[in-house]
Structure 1
């Protein structure tokens, strides 16, 4: 696992950040999911496809984050299984990756249902129930997976299984079940929608969104109070994803992003001034060498080779001056 993956995974494990993502995706930014109603689950997806006889081979995958949700909404209780996949780069097979995760989870639920019936000695009443152990009145818990894209650009990879297929004939596609990804991408979310986020995910996503626009970053960080004291985990995500090399230590509890951006801009201006001075000095030395060579060419005692060694110009440049 790379540094970016480790840092983003650690950050998204925070229930406040996790709840923010799904309040945006499910409830248009309304604060419906309370972080306290989220409970971590094993991120290992392990399932044995049922009905495969004696040659069963377990399939194992690892999610980034997986939590259960038990919440009241509109006078009804909702129980969901929520997963997040973090991406710092576009993943061109994301629909298949998420489809496998979700399918394994559903297969696991079917297996758990069959196990529960066996343990409770609830015997099947039909051959269909006997075949899978999943009974007529059994129900599955919905699984929702969201891709959180930590890129400043628009997601340019497939967003559905149909986009990945070699055949685009509508008649054929009508028989192929599609699978689309749920995408949380800052470049594709309006600022007013990001402003509804309750955690510091708002600052992280806004910073990433405008990370290539230093003027906008200065304006953003100076106006938003959240940037003046940003939690270290959030600052670490910004630093890792954007590569701006923030100046902070691991002992700090928070980071002043307004100051960090100002320092970054100051450094850029200083580098520009240094480069300009160096360029000016180079041009001045070159001009002086040309004048020296021109004077020496008027004296027959100096050969082109002598002039080149003395002035610092290449022999080719001296010969060009001689022709002029």
Structure 2
């Protein structure tokens, strides 16, 4: 009989909790420093400024009628660089499940940000009456005007860490073979995807390091998780409290979120090994309960259909039960070992 995997842990992070954690300047800066700048502290938490306002733009459409575009970023901040007040715009979009239109979605987000900057400049120049040429009047911008760059990261924190979606706009296009030699004329838009498989956890200084480490391990199997915790027990048995809370939200660890004091160490940290051991025990109990409910349903079906011989055989033969589970449409449930 094929062995079914027990649902050991529920990794269903709540989006609101994730966004709240990412809104923390220290975590937000660490995300960009660890991903974009390979661990170098380019983004300073103290220079970050919240920019997560809802954007609503009214732009002229092709038919002359105005088109309203509304977009709200998950988390967006501005940061001064090289002594400037607002040198760069940074945005993080959390994604728990694969989104097959993500490159277009991010392209639109960024386009809205750049368009908003242009409209703000135009409004300022119209007010100041400092446009001096026909080209400047046409564009609403002066020749020396420059826009702040925008960097958008897609943070994928799904349980299986398997992204099978597009990585750029070209991946989404059905390109005729006749156009292949000239596809460079079709603008592309890359997706800055961030997940445990393409980052170096050592580049991060906050609990994001442990989050990426654990997401990478849990995407494999329970044995990998146990081996990882054994190898790193010195660090995980007394993990910094703030790092533990970050793990609790990203990986939805019930003990950390509901009763973290139960795993508080004498040094004031968290014993993450204990937290994950309890999650596994709770998962095993839940798996056993699901299996018992499934078996009970099967027996009721057999008794109702007066299949006494099958009822007796199913109670003794686990392999035969599998056949009957499929017959009665119960094979989608997971069984205990």
**Normalising TM by the smaller chain, what interval?**
0.7 to 0.9
Cα distance in 2, alignment partners of residues 143 and 217 from structure 1: 37
- The equivalent of 2:140 in structure 1 is 133
Q: Is the 8 Å Cα contact of residues 153 and 209 (structure 1) preserved in structure 2?
A: yes
Report the Cα offset of residue 217 of structure 1: 2.7
The reply on whether 1:121 has 2:129 as its aligned counterpart is yes
Match 1:91 to one of 99, 106, 109? 99
Match 1:32 to one of 15, 19, 42? 42
TM-score relative to the length of structure 1: 0.73
- The equivalent of 2:234 in structure 1 is 223
**Deviation readout 1:255-310 (Å, 9 max, x if unpaired):** 5321111223445677899999x9xxxxxxxxxxxxxxxxxxxxxxxxxxxxxxxx
**Deviation readout 1:180-200 (Å, 9 max, x if unpaired):** 1111111223xxx21220111
Once structures 1 and 2 are overlaid, which stretch shifts more, 199-208 or 262-271?
262-271
Cα distance in 1, alignment partners of residues 190 and 240 from structure 2: 37
Structure 1 residues 227, 87: CA separation in 2 closer, same or farther (over 3 Å shift)? farther
Aligned length: 273
The reply on whether 1:236 has 2:242 as its aligned counterpart is no
**Deviation readout 1:3-55 (Å, 9 max, x if unpaired):** 72212111111111111111123211112222111111034232233687963
Cα distance in 2, alignment partners of residues 123 and 274 from structure 1: 73
- The equivalent of 2:153 in structure 1 is 146
Matching of residues 241-256 of structure 1 within 5 Å: 245-246=254-255, 248-249=257-258, 255-256=270-271
Secondary structure of the corresponding residue to residue 188 of structure 1: coil
Match 1:101 to one of 75, 91, 109? 109
Q: Is the 8 Å Cα contact of residues 248 and 257 (structure 2) preserved in structure 1?
A: no
Cα distance in 1, alignment partners of residues 309 and 61 from structure 2: 83
The reply on whether 1:5 has 2:15 as its aligned counterpart is yes
- The equivalent of 2:272 in structure 1 is 257
Structure with the greater alpha carbon radius of gyration: 1
Cα distance in 2, alignment partners of residues 316 and 46 from structure 1: 64
Cα distance in 1, alignment partners of residues 46 and 171 from structure 2: 38
Report the Cα offset of residue 65 of structure 1: 0.6
- The equivalent of 1:281 in structure 2 is none
Report the Cα offset of residue 145 of structure 1: 0.5
Matching of residues 269-308 of structure 1 within 5 Å: none
Cα distance in 1, alignment partners of residues 157 and 51 from structure 2: 23
Matching of residues 172-251 of structure 1 within 5 Å: 172-189=182-199, 193-212=200-219, 213-218=221-226, 219-220=228-229, 222-225=233-236, 228-231=239-242, 233-240=245-252, 245-246=254-255, 248-249=257-258
Q: Is the 8 Å Cα contact of residues 194 and 206 (structure 1) preserved in structure 2?
A: yes
**Deviation readout 1:203-236 (Å, 9 max, x if unpaired):** 1221122124333333336232486344364133
**Deviation readout 1:43-84 (Å, 9 max, x if unpaired):** 4232233687963232111110110010239xx998100111
Measured on the aligned residues, the alpha-carbon RMSD in Å equals 3.5
- The equivalent of 1:159 in structure 2 is 167
TM-score relative to the length of structure 2: 0.70
